[in-house]
Amino acid sequence: MVGRGYHIALGREHAKRLFSLKEDQEILKFLEELKALPDMKKSGRLLDCGTAWDGLHRCLTEGELDPTAGDFPLNHAILGGKQLHKGADHTAVLIRPDMTRFVADALAEVDEAEFRQKFLALNRNSYKLPIGEKEFMQHWIVLQDLQVFFEAAADNMEAVVFTARFQS
């Protein structure tokens, strides 16, 4: 089972602070602080993907939950990028500001029919969440939100961090 996933757009000050942190627990604590700031969500710099991030990554890459799968730039939309932290229970991945435009443009070109086909064909042995038309639509909506989020990050030359907690 997967936990909720979040994308966080980092302004210059937040990025500097994040890059100064060396320990996994410091990084996770800082990301939790950012997620809790009301201004982050109000300003559109925090996107809660819920558990859809799992299916999104699989559909944008090669069907499995593998950070190295797929091709740039779509593989950077969720789990690709620089691993800041990867443990048994949590991940945090950085997408550099110079990469966000490529991700935004690639997400804008994802075809709904192809995405539906990939989603409905997910491997039920490894993808444990429900698969159906309703779930596809939920994922498609999150994908659209993600494209808008990356577009804004690219326009602002912001880095993006994806973070998620895994649940067993």
pTM: predicted TM-score of the whole model, two decimal places: 0.95
CATH code, 103 = 3.40.1760.10
Q: Scanning the structure block, which residue is given the tokens 């789990």? A: 79
Checking if the pLDDT of 89 tops 90, the result is no
Instruction: Write out pLDDT tens, residues 4-57.
Output: 999 999 999 999 999 999 899 999 999 999 999 999 999 999 999 999 999 999
Q: Where are the beta strands (DSSP E) in the chain?
A: 2-10, 46-50, 82-86, 90-95, 159-166
Q: What residues make up the domain containing 103?
A: 2-166
**pLDDT at res. 165:** 86
pLDDT band at residue 122 using 50, 70 and 90 as cut-offs? very high
What domain count does the chain have?
Answer: 1
33, HSE (Cβ side, Cα atoms, 13 Å): 10
User: Phi, psi at residue 9, to the nearest 5°?
Assistant: -85, 130
**pLDDT bracket for residue 2 (50, 70, 90):** confident
Residue 114: both structure tokens together: 């192809």
